[in-house]
Structure 1
């Protein structure tokens, strides 16, 4: 698998983002759905990556700059054809490393509370993310879980592949 910085010009990448937004809208009311559309993912302060296996899109994810020391993970999605194959773990590791390279001291995210989001919450916890209060422009929401991770620990290493494959 290879990860590339993506400009969101590929039809297949756009289709995966649209499917992601549509799917998430089915699990939360509109006011609790924080998925970004294509234009928001192209905005300044946003970095977007896609994961490829040969010529097949395996997944995607983004890093949003909140301020000079704080980033937010957005739009993590594994293609249905690549579920439980380590795509999300590989991409999450890439995003964490990129956030550190950019000088971020903290990385945060918002994900859902319904059961369908349990694998994502489990993956983030394995990477050291802990629940936290709302950050940025978010507010308390029964459909949201907020998680954060300090990036100041120099000893970061990716969890073992066997523990990461389960929630991709």
Structure 2
């Protein structure tokens, strides 16, 4: 499998379709007040860097990083296409985001993910890549459906 990770535009057709599917899945399984995933417009906002992963011309996943100021950034909108789950795509995107953050002088990365069983694979990935659970960080409030994590770079 040849994996290419590149900066991307969230409005490109393939990425837009994946973001739309990602949001639909979030809203189907989580109350709206606990969904923190960004839509296409949110991913296109200033201060957000987005990447896509491609395998043999097929979109395999996406991930983004949102600047929080004060040398901090937040991991956003990590999603792997179902056909590519378990093949290292999410880990590769995460590592690319971490490398880019380091290059830009970011000192810590933060994230919010789900706390239910559906999110166990995501939490395991983040833990295996050096993230640790923490309390909520701005702009989040405590939520039993959220797990918050951080990692020093």
State the TM bucket, normalised to the shorter chain. Answer: over 0.9
**Structure 2 unaligned blocks of 5 or more:** none
Can you give the 5+ residue segments of structure 1 that lack an aligned partner in the other structure?
A: 152-168
How many pairs does the alignment contain?
Answer: 151
- The answer to whether the 8 Å contact 1:66/1:136 transfers is no
Deviation, structure 1 residue 24: 1.1
Alpha-carbon distance in structure 1 between the residues aligned to 2:104 and 2:138: 19
Aligned to 1:128: 130
Q: Residue by residue, what CA displacement relative to the aligned partner does 1:46-99 show, whole Å, maximum 9, x if unpaired?
A: 001000012100000000000040000000000011111100010111001111
TM-score normalized by the length of structure 1:
0.88
> Which 4+ residue blocks in structure 1 deviate beyond 4 angstroms?
none
Pairwise CA distance, 1:25: 1.3
How far is the alpha carbon of 1:27 from its aligned partner?
2.3
Partner of 1:162: none
2:89 maps to: 87
Deviations 1:102-145, CA, capped at 9 Å, x for gaps: 10100000000110000000000000100001112000000000
Match of residue 146 from structure 2: 144
Kept after mapping to 2: 8 A contact 1:68/1:103: no
Contact kept, 8 Å, 1:48 with 1:63, in 2: the verdict is yes
Higher share in strand: 2
Give the TM-score normalised by the residue count of structure 2: 0.97
